[in-house]
A = this chain, B = another copy of it.
């Protein structure tokens, strides 16, 4: 029996965790019921601080996220963790991370954990990640920690859904190349050099400074400016000075300082008007993504049974280029009868 969106939302809003889990599964489906559920929860959203935590595999993102959630709990606030693996079609990594989390965070009703590890997510992973974050925001979590793996395109997109983005680096991962190539430094509001107990931490910091220099950041300063407090003089981004912090997340070292800086960033965003700008940007992004998905779905649902096979046959015969066929198909659909399409999308 398919769950009723209104019932699920009502139950989830009372704090029912099973209903919340089912609601998250529903909104990830991108069905009409999902849209109904998102619309019902929408008025309750807009209160959570969304923090994106990203970095290459092996940097210790999961440990950092766990410790950050526990630090948030000690402030008397609640945290939901969304662990997103955009690259993996199987859930091996996610499950491993979850087990460690379970040991550290089990039994605390103020921490909720959700893994999303499907590469083939309908309409793109950032669409479903945003939908899940909306639900967690709506049911009242103070913080949403979105953890993404990799150094590719997907987590840059997912990071755009966050108010504050933490980029985690660690020694011994071919850093100097990674930092330059990854292109993720520009999305960072805070940079952590994690695993400072390991050799090469200083080299990682040097590589980060060099990468900032290469990207011609305005407020770049030389490495010799670093003082003994572990805080490297920051570079600037829209008026915010990006701190580079040292952490050792596995034993929680430096995590209090990270949260303090995240709270400073929140104040900065609110006072500068950028918090509201980010909200607008995020909703616009969700709108655009949903619109593209709805357009394709409307076209696809309106196709007669064998029309798609006919299109493929034309391609196989190399009778027409894919690009030209797409243009003609869209044109024909838009000028053709609408009765078919309306029946499906209404």
List A residues at the B interface (Cβ < 8 Å): 34-35, 38-39, 42-43, 45-46, 56-58, 85-90, 92-93, 119, 125, 131, 134, 149-156, 172-174, 177-178, 180-184, 186, 214-215, 279-280, 283-284, 286-288, 290-296, 298-299, 311-312, 315-316, 318, 320-327, 329-331, 334-335, 338, 341-342, 345-346
B295 near A57 with CB under 8 A, answer: no
Known: A38-B323, A321-B38. A153 touches B151 (CB 8 A): no
A335 near B342 with CB under 8 A, answer: yes
A58 near B178 with CB under 8 A, answer: yes
Indicate the member of A178, A294, A321 with the most B CB atoms within 10 Å.
A321
Q: How many copies does the complex hold?
A: 2
Closest Cβ of chain B: how far from A50's Cβ, in Å?
15
Known: A119-B183, A154-B152, A296-B291. A323 touches B89 (CB 8 A): no
B178 near A57 with CB under 8 A, answer: yes
A323 near B92 with CB under 8 A, answer: no
Known: A183-B88, A183-B89. A331 touches B346 (CB 8 A): yes
Q: How far is the CA of A52 from the CA of B131 in the complex (A)?
A: 34
A42 near B321 with CB under 8 A, answer: yes
B295 near A330 with CB under 8 A, answer: yes
